[in-house]
Amino acid sequence: MSVKSLIRQIQAYNPDAEVELLERCYRFAQEAHEGQKRKSGEPYFTHCVKTAAILVELHLDTHTICAGLMHDVLEDTGITREELQVRFGANIANLVEGVTKIGQYRPSVGSPTTNTPITVEDRVHRKRQAETYRKLLLATAEDMRVILIKLADRLHNMETLKFLTSEKCQRIAKETLEIYAPIAHRLGIWRIMGRLEDLAFKHLYPAEYRKIADLLNQKLTEREAYCDKMVKQIRGVLEKRGVYADVHGRTKHIYSIYQKMQQKGTPFSEIRDLVGLRVLVKTEPDCYTALGALHHKWNYHPDRLRDWIGQPKKNGYQSLHTTILDDGKPVEVQIRSYQMHKVAEDGIAAHWSYKEGVPTSRQGRSIFASYKQILEDIQETQDSPHQFVESMKLELFQDEVYVFSPKGDLFKLPAGATVIDFAYKIHTDIGHTCVGAEVNGSIAPIRRVLENGDQVNIRTQSNGKPSRSWLPHVKTATARGKIRHWFREKDRADALELGKKFLEGELRAFYLNARDYLNSPELLNIAKQLKLKSLEELFVRIGNGDESAIQVVNLLKPEMPKPETETTEAVKPERKPESAAIQLENNIDLGMMRIMKCCNPIPGDPVVGYLTRGRGVSVHRAGCIRILEEPERLLAVKWLEKSMSENGDHPPDVYPVKILVECSDRPGMLGEITTAIAQYKVNIRCGTFQPSTVHLDATAADNLTIDVTGAEQLDKVMEAIRRLKGVQRVLRLS
């Protein structure tokens, strides 16, 4: 498409478009991508023009279209953001930069199954994926046009996806179906959403796509003839009522047919709404007049009647939906005004000012405000990468249910939301103290899934508090984030108390009075050495297992004689190693090397050597606070592979490691823990089992010393214990 053709299309809806600016951006992007080719063999610049053309279809402002033309120059050329700002202004430069940030990572979107082990690569992919979506949320919240450009970019990429490798096609198609198509839905941009879904479906499930497409084509002539008949009948009925309308047929998207077949188990031959009818009228009152006329002429399904005009969806969608029966055959009909239709097709873009580049109508601002609030709620969550992505999907991409408070106030929640979600929607304190509810006048549990029209009265108790068991039953990021925040604060208090107890115990082992040291300037200095702001932070880190109480005590009173049980001599493995476990880099020999018990490194741990005065090299875990004062004495060391005996049958060397397991004190719990450990052929050297006095939801604290071959085996054992039902946390203590 030439620049003149593009400008003509823009001027058709925006006569005051900045033509000179458009021409400069067009030429600049063309020159920046000169010589670059797409996988299809086409000049890369054709993609930029197609992206801009999709934005023109949405009637967007000049700056957005200019940014669409240049959306890849920061990522794929040597152009800098500063140069863009100098040439075209901060507004366009910010839009291009926002799109670039979203696309910097290429994450995998597959969700792992419970039977699939999570590899390091999986964790990296999830972290990158979550970071990508966080960037998307931030960029979108700052300027909605960023996501509109990204949707246009993604749509054209999907239209040319066949030129990529099969693996890349699958990755991009899945990301499109799980993330970008639902974002288009949330913003109400149906014309882009439907195309994205069908294109992604075509690449992800080619056999199913071809099967449905072939079935649709088999009776296409028959369906078109029936559709024409119904159009004429409906138009005649409405004209008699004085309502003049455009009536036309609409074909379901292939992916929506597939979803219906999958979700409801309906075979293709029994799907009766492959072709629906759409009635467009001038005004809102005409919509209701038309609905009455249709219901007077034909019987209808009362349970399929939907009034999205009186209660618009979050994305601004408004329409009346009904299903009439023509000789027993169901026919779906949508009735809406021309303005409602524009909103239904273009979503928030229908409310856009092509002069100012912002939503102008009250409805447009409401859509943007609602969407931005969702983004802010998700952004506040501190979940793991996988949980974060799932929260994003649930919040942005679910349909809504409408429920009422006892006073009649209307609340919108995602489909599947429970009483807990509703409680947190009203107020954080109500959510925290929620103990039950009345739904439609009847007592209901807080896990009750809410339905359209439910009236909900939350019951609270002053001493009520959240439970971790609520988390699987909430659907909103708001509720999940507030519950997790409550537990983070509670867990911090627990860790602080636990850290103090650990430190007190170690001080007593050194025959020191804990009261003299817990608030001493010396202890505060140690906290500062660790770059911590306060003693509280130090106690919390000790309680969480991030710092060793033994190391802190050693720094507090290094001149005091240590009890025999806490000497800093080397940890002796169960068998004498066949070869040295540790070696200095470059094979330098500085005499004796000792593995230190203060931090108890085991094979696989990151380690560092410390050159002592006259006692060789002591080996510590990286970050051990015993070696912070003299970094110039640090030496690079590495673990060596153990050589096997000639027949290769001797067992590997093992190292004792202390771990803490906090869990429920239920029958069989200890047996399950020991079984989880035993499956890795790990010996439990000793253990103490006692009630937990600090951690919420944990009634037992098990201190175990286990013999492991190294950090890799230790990680597997701890992860196996974490997966057990009732286990709250597992920490390495030494």
Q: What is the DSSP letter of 462?
A: T
- Residue 278 pairs in a beta bridge with 248, 334
- Could you count the other beta carbons within 10 Å of the beta carbon of residue 577? 14
- Which of 369, 370, 348 lies closest to 359 in space, CA to CA? 348
Catalytic residue of the set 31, 34, 42, 75: 75
φ and ψ of 454, to 5 deg: -65, 140
Which token pair is 678? 């035993």
Helix or strand or coil: residue 188? Answer: coil
Three-state helix/strand/coil letters over 120-186: HHHHHHHHHHHHHHHHHHHHHHHCCHHHHHHHHHHHHHHHCHHHCCHHHHHHHHHHHHHHHHHHHHH
In the chain, the amino acid numbered 137 is L
- By the 8 A CB rule, do 597 and 569 touch? yes
| Separation between Cα atoms, residue 317 and residue 511, nearest integer Å | 72
- By the 8 A CB rule, do 44 and 38 touch? yes
Angle at 164 between CA 159 and CA 166, to 5 degrees: 110
Helices first, then strands: H and E counts in the chain: 28, 21
Q: How many residues does the chain have?
A: 734
φ and ψ of 440, to 5 deg: 55, 35
710 burial via Cβ count (<10 Å: 0-12, 13-18, 19+): buried
Query: Is residue 75 annotated as part of the catalytic site, yes or no?
Result: yes
Owner of token pair 């108390």: 497
Angle at 209 between CA 208 and CA 215, to 5 degrees: 90
Three-state helix/strand/coil letters over 509-558: HCCCCHHHHCCCHHHHHHHHHCCCCCHHHHHHHHHCCCCCHHHHHHHHCC
Distance between first and last Cα of the chain: 67
Long-range CB contact pairs, 553-558, < 8 A, 24+: 553/503, 553/506, 553/507, 553/509, 553/510, 553/512, 554/598, 554/626, 555/526, 555/529, 555/625, 555/626, 556/507, 556/512, 556/517, 556/520, 556/522, 556/523, 556/526, 557/510, 557/512
Which token pair is 143? 């300027």
The alpha carbons of the chain give a radius of gyration, in whole angstroms, of 33
Q: Are strands 727-732 and 683-691 parallel, antiparallel or unpaired?
A: unpaired
- By the 8 A CB rule, do 413 and 422 touch? yes
| Separation between Cα atoms, residue 320 and residue 335, nearest integer Å | 5
- By the 8 A CB rule, do 315 and 265 touch? no
Catalytic residue of the set 42, 76, 224, 239: 76
Which residues are tagged catalytic? Answer: 75-76
